Amino acid sequence: MNLAVLLTHIKKIPQYEEILKLINDLHFDSGHSITLDIPQAARPFVLSSLGSDLNRPLLILTSNENRSDTFYNQGKKWNIDRKIYNFLDTNSTFYERSSREKERIHNRIETLSHLINVQNNSNIDVISHASALMTPTLPKPIFNQYTIQLSVGDHIKLNKVIKNCIDSGYQPNTIVTTPGEISRRGGIIDIWPPTASHPTRIELFGELIDSMRTFEPSTQLSVKNVNSIDIHPTRETIASTNQSITSLLKTQWQQLDDHNPRNTSHLDDIELLKTGTIFPELEYYTKWIHPDANTLLDYISKKTIVIIDNWQDFLLTINKLEQRALILRDELISKKLLPSDAPIPYASWSELQDQLSTQTVIMLSGSDKETVCDLGSSFQPSKPHGGHLKSVMNLLETNMISEIHTVVISRQSIRLHNLWNIHSKNQEDSNKTNGNSVKLTNSYSPIFVQGTLEAGFSIIPCSIQILSDAEIFGWSPPEPRKITSKSKTHNTDEIIFDFKPGDTVVHLEHGIGRFVDLVERNINNVSKEYLHIEYAKGDTLYVPITQTDRLTRYIGPDRKVPNLSYLGGSEWTKSREKTRVAVEEIAMELLDLYAKREIVTGYAFSKDSPWQIELESSFPYTETDDQHSALTAIKKDMEKPIPMDRLICGDVGYGKTEVALRAAFKAVLDQKQVAVLVPTTVLAQQHYHTFQQRMETFPIQIEMLSRFQGPVKQRKIINDISNGKIDIVIGTHRIVQSDVNFHDIGLLIVDEEQRFGVTHKEYIKKLRTSIDVLTMTATPIPRTLFMTLSGARDISQINTAPESRLPIITKITKFDENVIKKAILQELNRGGQIFFVHNRVQTIEATAKLIDSLVPNARTIIAHGQMPENTLKKSMEKFINHQFDILVCTTIIENGLDIPNVNTLIVDQADMFGLSQLYQLRGRVGRGTKRAHAYFLYRNDRKHILSEEAQMRLTTLSENSHIGAGYSIAMRDLEIRGAGDILGKKQHGHMAAVGFHLYTRLLRQAIKTKKSKPSNDKQSPRLDLDLSLLSIELPFEIGIPHKYIKNTQLRMQIYQRLAKLDDEEKIDEIKTELIDRFGQMPKSLTNLLFQLKIKLLAHRSHIESINTRHNKISVRFHMLDNEDIRIKYRKLLPRYINMTRQNFLLPLKYKDLGWQTMLVNLLETLGERDNRK
């Protein structure tokens, strides 16, 4: 979105020209200050104009990060030609020994590098806030010392370059997937400087840099060639080996060690410092290691103009941060947790004030000094319309008549433009959505621009009014974050070699065994890697590493360890056959239910009406592709004359509620009632508020029925439901009780059906045969099971995260009052709120008192399910309205609660919760644009012993904190507690016999077969396991040598990817990738890729196996037992190919033909003959 054209209009305001002249007359280092009073909404506009006209760099300072984000996001739209950087803090509390957020450190490094590189460039703006300005960083000389530039053609000392990188914070890794990592594979170096959008691959020829190219971290494939790269430090502290520094540190902390054993962690850090080792908490020691540490102000030039958003707020925030830090310092020193002579870890206000006194400072508001001119009166905030789109259309019409230019900047600009065309009856030809840019014309027709703005305002002297989503809809959506390659890409496909010695595994042909290890064997002078599997009675099976797709980890219905199968016995075959028969019965049941619903007559809802379009236009976000697909499927279902029964499966906070809301609205427009059934009263209240807010401008009656209402209110609501006065009722199990009778219900929406009891589920089951039912769940199901069930019922998945979503930083730690206090203070410092989950009602008040004692200034309130209804309701409302900072609660917040300002979660006794429950709780935070933190506390002492299973749950949660981690957690949850709940107890024994993975594979095949075959076909289907059972053994060495890919885990992952390839193009793609990442392929790997191509050709030709026998290639083809077939092929094929009743036999060489060419020719001929049939 480009709003730059509007900047030219500010020059029509005399007061603006007056300010420009005043600033230009000042000297660069004069230390003058200028006071203005600009309305908040117009400040980004005014600043962008100043930056454009003054030709000087700007430093914009705000009180908090939210305001910095606003200036950053808006500045990029008002002036796209200027370089704008947002300098963040490290999101940690002063005096807190913790790892700083890597992404934030990289943001700071990137900003500093640009300030150093463009000292004389006036076309740059830096935006920051109080805590970021106070946080120290590397001294400028040291920053320059550890910055190196490399170019193609340079001669370098490779070991010296790598040491410099590691010393400045780069983390050695097998592959580079995130900024700040470095990897070396022979003469190839991959590195990702924090200042770069992509990592770079440097290829050497001896000591000469032969080539450099950026690459995509998710695929590891090269993107484009580059000529040079700047490598900057990746940490804000250099691990010092200076003996005087480490000695001082050791002396200070050793004095405290006798008083508190927890200080040993500091002594461990000091030992790491002695060796120059980088560790996560390094920045805690910045002022010890760099006593002369700099701030952002040390990196700006003298000609920079410092602009302060609100002077009073800025000062108050710095004073508050200093005051809290001083209190914390005194407390830590008194508890012997900090040396009394420890340096102050931040820049004080007096230090910052000295630096600011040498710069020109402009205060936009909040100063008690007299303003230099009345520029602020030229701007006026736009009035809110609160979602009343009719009112918005009337304003547009009035402005047009009054010859006022109106610019509508909205995420829903296209929909609003369509509504305007309807309102104005398309009388104005110029009312077209003008792309993403603004250009005023002689016509006063409104201009619609796709984008976001914090708030709208009028430029009175210029007759211009700007409207944003804030005025139109009553609230402003967060700025969209485009997911860039700097975010590590997590592949949701479960394609990772994660067998550990001792794991129980399932082989498709041989059954349940135990993985021993990865071994290398030499057979017939050919060395290959094998998976060593142990079976009953100590029998051994060596599975070629190229056949990893035949093995899966065993997951049973519970945690019982199964008996190992006997190699060569018939038990495994019988078990697999019994399971196949059982899953066929399930497949028939699923398909029968589906078929019965197809023949029942239901209500066919109408196509979308103008009101439906208007409601969807008022959604101030852009739907994700998955949301759009789910909505399309739901509407298609609803418009059919058969009852809908669709499951929406989506991760926590992925927008399922909006999908359900639109379906409910569609039903109501056809005079049908809607019931929304939710598991908790708290969630019912939230849905009620959401539905009320979104449908406020429509004549729709919405009520909530739960224990939050008293008996009198409940009776009135029930009576109104039966009389048809209520259109949508949202409630708990109360709405499915016998006294609730609907006048004309058309749609039931069920949120988290698995949370309801048997009685309620039976009620829902009856409704499924007569009305439309939409079920939602945020409990992820494993991808394999989803693919299976999607063949037998209607399921939509919402896997795409909203634009603003960021991964949640997850910390697992022992219960520690200091950890709790620091976590709360950190959140309070950025104006946020906290959930503290304590799931014991008996001790919840004592826990709240403990928190009050730790953070006396914080406002704490309690909420739990045993409170009186009215009290609980008021508690939740007060917390939602930010009258309190901390909600000490039970798991009543677990499902669906959405409060964007809550971005810290602390769970007490987290080891007592299930994995999926912990995942749901974590999903309560991180719903805004701020980075969220989740702390899971456990107690491990004589009274509370941490079990192995609990440890596994907590570790899994910590390792899976990326966006869309639900599927990884779902699979891990199956492994920890078993898969018995997924398909019911009836299938318990069959799943135990073959394991979850093979069970779902057989079920998927059964559903596919039953759907494609007539029901009277009695033929037992052949077990189809795709490529997995096709055995290919050719007379050459195959594999990935250790020298080519040294890391075992990475090598095994490549093997597993190769085993899953099912397309020749994909083989060519992975060949290109391997050469790009690891260099020219060795012969054995080239052979392996050739063998994979042969496998695909053989499968296409229905070949059962290919191997080498008696110096001949034997191709097993079951159709050769037919004499007529043999005669046909005898006439068709060359003489050098012999045939038996089961096999084609090829010589290893015939004249100039090698066996490879002959084998390819044979398979292609067989494939062509089969296709012609």
Q: Which of 523-532, 846-855, 950-959 has the highest mean pLDDT?
A: 846-855
**Confidence band for 980, pLDDT divided at 50, 70 and 90:** low
**What are the strands, taking DSSP E only, across 123-275?**
124-129, 148-151, 171-172, 181-185, 188-191, 200-205, 208-216, 221-225, 228-231
Residue 990 lies in a domain: no
What is the chain's mean pLDDT, rounded?
84
Task: State yes or no: pLDDT of 441 exceeds 80.
Answer: no
The pLDDT value recorded for residue 465 is 95
pLDDT digits (tens, 9 = 90+) for 808-818: 888 888 898 88
Both 627 and 767 in one domain: the answer is yes
pLDDT digits (tens, 9 = 90+) for 256-269: 865 566 677 888 88
Pairing of strands 833-837, 902-907: parallel
Both 706 and 632 in one domain: the answer is yes
Residue 429 lies in a domain: yes
SS3 76: helix
The pLDDT value recorded for residue 492 is 37
Bridge partners, residue 892, by sequence = none
Average pLDDT over residues 97-119: 87
Nearest to 448 by CA among 412, 407, 394, 392: 407
pLDDT digits (tens, 9 = 90+) for 1049-1084: 788 888 888 888 888 888 998 998 898 888 889 999
**Confidence band for 786, pLDDT divided at 50, 70 and 90:** low
Between 41-55, 76-90, 186-200, 765-779, the lowest mean confidence (pLDDT) is in 765-779
Predicted structure pTM score: 0.74
Task: State yes or no: pLDDT of 1133 exceeds 50.
Answer: yes
Task: State yes or no: pLDDT of 785 exceeds 70.
Answer: no
Task: State yes or no: pLDDT of 299 exceeds 90.
Answer: yes
* Residue that finishes a domain, picked among 473, 502, 528: 473
Both 622 and 756 in one domain: the answer is yes
The pLDDT value recorded for residue 782 is 58
**What are the strands, taking DSSP E only, across 547-620?**
551-553
In the chain, % of residues over pLDDT 90: 38
Between 90-99, 527-536, 991-1000, the lowest mean confidence (pLDDT) is in 991-1000
Q: How far apart are CA 365 and CA 378, in angstroms?
A: 15
Both 763 and 651 in one domain: the answer is yes
| DSSP annotation of 365 | S
**Confidence band for 523, pLDDT divided at 50, 70 and 90:** confident
Residue scoring higher pLDDT (102 or 293) = 293
* Residue that finishes a domain, picked among 795, 825, 852: 795
The pLDDT value recorded for residue 588 is 82
pLDDT digits (tens, 9 = 90+) for 1142-1168: 899 999 888 778 899 999 999 988 887
Instruction: Count Cβ atoms within 10 A of the Cβ of residue 507 and give its class: 0-12 exposed, 13-18 middle, 19 or more buried.
Output: buried
Q: What is the CATH number of the domain that holds 103?
A: 3.40.50.300
The sign of the dihedral angle between the CA atoms of 973, 975, 979, 982 is positive
pLDDT digits (tens, 9 = 90+) for 659-700: 999 999 999 999 999 999 998 888 888 899 889 988 887 889
**Confidence band for 564, pLDDT divided at 50, 70 and 90:** very high
Q: How far apart are CA 191 and CA 196, in angstroms?
A: 10
Q: Which of 53-57, 202-206, 644-648 has the highest mean pLDDT?
A: 202-206
pLDDT digits (tens, 9 = 90+) for 14-27: 999 988 888 888 76
The pLDDT value recorded for residue 844 is 94
Both 88 and 184 in one domain: the answer is no
Both 58 and 105 in one domain: the answer is yes
* Residue that finishes a domain, picked among 352, 376, 400: 376
Residue 551 lies in a domain: no
Both 209 and 262 in one domain: the answer is no
Average pLDDT over residues 264-275: 86
Residue 561 lies in a domain: no
Between 591-605, 783-797, 879-893, 971-985, the lowest mean confidence (pLDDT) is in 971-985
Whether residue 697 contacts residue 387, with contact meaning beta carbons closer than 8 Å, is answered with yes
Nearest to 774 by CA among 900, 939, 659: 659
pLDDT digits (tens, 9 = 90+) for 337-370: 899 999 999 999 999 999 999 899 999 998 888 8
Residue 424 lies in a domain: yes
Residue 1004 lies in a domain: no
Residue 549 lies in a domain: no
Residue scoring higher pLDDT (927 or 843) = 843
Task: State yes or no: pLDDT of 787 exceeds 60.
Answer: no
Helix (H) or strand (E) run with residue 14 in it: helix 14-24
The pLDDT value recorded for residue 495 is 41
The pLDDT value recorded for residue 152 is 95
The pLDDT value recorded for residue 1025 is 43
Residue 521 lies in a domain: no
Both 691 and 658 in one domain: the answer is yes
Nearest to 289 by CA among 195, 161, 181, 167: 167
The pLDDT value recorded for residue 295 is 96
Average pLDDT over residues 931-958: 80
Task: State yes or no: pLDDT of 491 exceeds 60.
Answer: no
Number of domains in the chain: 7
Both 257 and 220 in one domain: the answer is no
Whether residue 81 contacts residue 47, with contact meaning beta carbons closer than 8 Å, is answered with no
Q: What is the CATH number of the domain that holds 1051?
A: 3.90.1150.50
| DSSP annotation of 679 | S
Q: How far apart are CA 1049 and CA 174, in angstroms?
A: 9
The pLDDT value recorded for residue 553 is 83
Average pLDDT over residues 432-440: 60
pLDDT digits (tens, 9 = 90+) for 1005-1019: 787 777 665 544 444
Provide the domain limits for residue 888: 809-962
The sign of the dihedral angle between the CA atoms of 1039, 1044, 1046, 1048 is negative
Both 818 and 725 in one domain: the answer is no
Both 763 and 856 in one domain: the answer is no
Both 786 and 820 in one domain: the answer is no
For helices 1083-1100 and 1155-1172, what crossing angle results, to 10°?
20
Between 459-463, 474-478, 699-703, 765-769, the lowest mean confidence (pLDDT) is in 474-478
Task: State yes or no: pLDDT of 118 exceeds 50.
Answer: yes
The pLDDT value recorded for residue 1021 is 39
